[in-house]
Amino acid sequence: MSEDTGYAGIVYWRRSLWNGARCVPVLLSLLPGVLRAQDRDGRVVFQEDPREVGGRISRLGTLLVDAGGRRYALVGRGAAVSPGPSAGQQAAVSAFRPPSAAGGGAVDLLLNGGAAARMRAWHSLLGEAGARLR
């Protein structure tokens, strides 16, 4: 990642494995030296130097991020009952480039709207920024 590049996108924080209403949108942004997630109200969920972040991507495309002593399950799309992104989140995304989600499989694209490919793109960006990924 070059020093003048920033990425942002809306991903979903899966706060519960079983309750889709608790899968909430977060604005995930990666700037030089800062990985930040903000909720619908603009509150910071986590903010860390990407080199201090760990994690991995699951076989189904969930990005598991370890930041600030906590694990966050981030997915590329919410459930049918999940709240939508706020106007503030959508406006903030427009100021950045989205991560490139190229290379997603046909099954992911057809059945999941390319959500797993989006999370793999975030995984790649975090690796480029120095995150400790498995």
If DSSP states are collapsed to H, E and C, what string results for 71-127?
A: EEEEECCCCCCCCCCCHHHHHHHCCCECCCCCCCCHHHHHHHCCHHHHHHHHHHHHH
Q: Which two tokens stand for residue 70?
A: 């906590």
Contacts of 40 (CB under 8 A, 6+ apart): 24, 25, 83, 85, 86, 88, 89
Note the pLDDT of residue 104.
56
Instruction: Name the band, by pLDDT with cuts 50, 70 and 90, for residue 13.
Output: very high
Note the pLDDT of residue 103.
56
Look up tokens 């490919």; give the residue: 117
Chain-centre distance of CA 65, in angstroms? 9
Mean pLDDT of 69-98: 91
Mean pLDDT of 18-28: 93
Domains of the chain, first to last: 7-133 (2.30.29)
Over residues 25-60, the pLDDT tens digits come to: 999 999 999 999 999 999 999 999 999 999 999 988
Q: Which two tokens stand for residue 65?
A: 């991020």
Q: Of 25-34, 76-85, 107-116, where does mean pLDDT reach its minimum?
A: 107-116
